[in-house]
């Protein structure tokens, strides 16, 4: 019997059942005539990431929460901005070695292009996604402030030259863009910080971006109510996925391919 020549790609995460990456990536493969299949892979123990990747003969993978920082540690080679971020979301098998990238950072920058004149940015949260966004903005010469509930996670940002605050030490300022990088609102009706505090932030802000996609979070609903221009994380997911596909297939994505992947996301 002929061996299946189809290459294997997955998204590792926990939880992972909600991920729309498979429909997006498989539509991209199909359009390119690339013989591959992309699936979900529930990985409970992040320490087993590289082992699972290699032993299952996977050619490439995306990595989502909570494994991005662990993925960084286990990679054989980390490429580009990901070295600064300390978190990766894309693995490629290259001559038996695991090469890692962060496509969240450029994906985010592409997603906020529709917001005009963004210079001062407030990021709420201090996880792997916040790191990617913060460094992408810093590289683009933006002024970045990080706001987080606990102090410990802010040390990394402080050490890398970002202005940092906990909820109780935060001083109000004007921001062109406020980003929710936390999971608040994904499976609940929570705000990423105290509601009154958030209202005060929004009074002095122009745009709001939530990394969560597929629903209007309380964060975005409140921003809209305060008259801000808003955007959810769908474009960030799309553009990071398009970049990942380029790494997976070694082919450059054009606008047609990007549009096909966007439509697949909406299904």
What mean pLDDT is predicted for residues 15-25? 94
Mean pLDDT score of the chain: 96
**Is a pLDDT exceeding 60 seen at residue 8?**
yes
At 1, is the pLDDT very low, low, confident or very high (cuts 50, 70, 90)? very low
Distance CA 17, CA 37 (A): 17
What mean pLDDT is predicted for residues 120-126? 97
What mean pLDDT is predicted for residues 146-173? 96
User: How much of the chain exceeds pLDDT 90, in percent?
Assistant: 93
Tell me, what's the pLDDT at 115? 97
Tell me, what's the pLDDT at 144? 98
Tell me, what's the pLDDT at 16? 95
Long-range contacts of 154-157 (CB under 8 A, 24+ apart): 154/126, 156/86, 156/126, 156/131, 157/126, 157/130, 157/131
What mean pLDDT is predicted for residues 175-198? 96
Q: Which residues contact 224 (CB under 8 A, 6 or more apart)?
A: 216, 230
* Domains delineated in the chain: 7-102+235-266 (3.40.50.10860), 106-232 (3.40.50.720)
Tell me, what's the pLDDT at 65? 86
25 in Cβ contact with 38 (< 8 Å):
yes
Residue, of 66 and 112, whose pLDDT is higher: 112
pLDDT digits 0-9 by tens, 190-217: 999 999 999 999 999 999 999 998 899 9
Residue, of 128 and 164, whose pLDDT is higher: 164
What mean pLDDT is predicted for residues 223-249? 97
Tell me, what's the pLDDT at 128? 86
163 in Cβ contact with 139 (< 8 Å):
no
Catalytic residue from among 8, 50, 68, 231: 68
What mean pLDDT is predicted for residues 2-25? 89
What mean pLDDT is predicted for residues 109-135? 96
Buried b (16+ CB within 10 A) or exposed e, 168-183: eebeeeebbbbbbbbb
Distance CA 78, CA 117 (A): 32
Would you call 68 a catalytic residue per the annotation? Answer: yes
Tell me, what's the pLDDT at 239? 98
181 in Cβ contact with 125 (< 8 Å):
yes
**Is a pLDDT exceeding 90 seen at residue 4?**
no
């Amino acid at each position: 019997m002929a061996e299946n020549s189809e290459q294997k790609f997955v998204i590792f995460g926990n939880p992972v059942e909600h991920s729309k990456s498979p429909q997006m990536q498989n539509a991209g493969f199909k359009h390119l005539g690339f013989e591959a299949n992309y699936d979900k892979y529930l990985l409970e123990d992040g320490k087993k990431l590289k082992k699972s990747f290699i032993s299952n003969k996977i050619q490439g993978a995306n990595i989502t929460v909570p494994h991005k920082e662990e993925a960084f540690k286990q990679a054989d080679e980390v490429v580009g901005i990901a070295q600064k971020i300390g978190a990766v979301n894309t693995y490629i098998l290259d001559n038996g070695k695991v090469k890692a990238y962060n496509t969240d950072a450029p994906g985010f920058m592409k997603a906020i292009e529709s917001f005009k004149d963004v210079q001062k940015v407030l990021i709420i949260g201090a996880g792997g996604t916040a790191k990617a966004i913060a460094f992408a903005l810093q590289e683009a010469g933006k002024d970045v402030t990080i706001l987080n509930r606990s102090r410990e996670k802010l040390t990394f940002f402080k050490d890398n030259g970002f202005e940092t605050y906990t909820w109780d030490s935060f001083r109000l300022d004007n921001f062109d863009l406020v980003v929710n990088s936390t999971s608040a609102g994904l499976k609940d009706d929570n705000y990423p910080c105290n509601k009154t505090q958030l209202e005060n932030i929004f009074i002095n802000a122009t745009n709001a971006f939530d990394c969560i996609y597929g629903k209007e979070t309380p964060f975005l609903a409140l921003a809209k109510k305060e008259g801000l221009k808003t955007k959810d994380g769908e474009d960030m997911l799309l553009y990071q996925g398009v970049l990942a596909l380029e790494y997976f297939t070694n082919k450059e994505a054009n606008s047609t391919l990007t549009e096909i992947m966007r439509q697949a996301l909406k299904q």
